[in-house]
Structure 1
């Protein structure tokens, strides 16, 4: 399984896009684990962006 998260800043605001490429042996549990991990990554990115905005 490959999960790709793209975060971009556009004139209309922030855009988050996630795509996944499944293999034949990808289980539902694998997908849930990957999405949970992705959620944590996005939350950390949000925190870094907010911290930078506050400190600039």
Structure 2
């Protein structure tokens, strides 16, 4: 792993998706570990990040 990124997130699934896409574009040549921390946000479900699984192994 070249870079580890921790993203705290609460009630902002679209913003999280945008941040992850931007990160993927910026660090395309690196092996990146991304840790998303959510403390029980009612706005998330498993489908919110499913669209990113092709780019990021979940």
Structure label with greater radius of gyration: 1
Whose strand proportion is higher, 1 or 2?
Answer: 1
Bigger RCO of structures 1 and 2 (CA < 8 A, at least 6 apart): 2
State TM-score, norm by structure 1: 0.41
State TM-score, norm by structure 2: 0.40
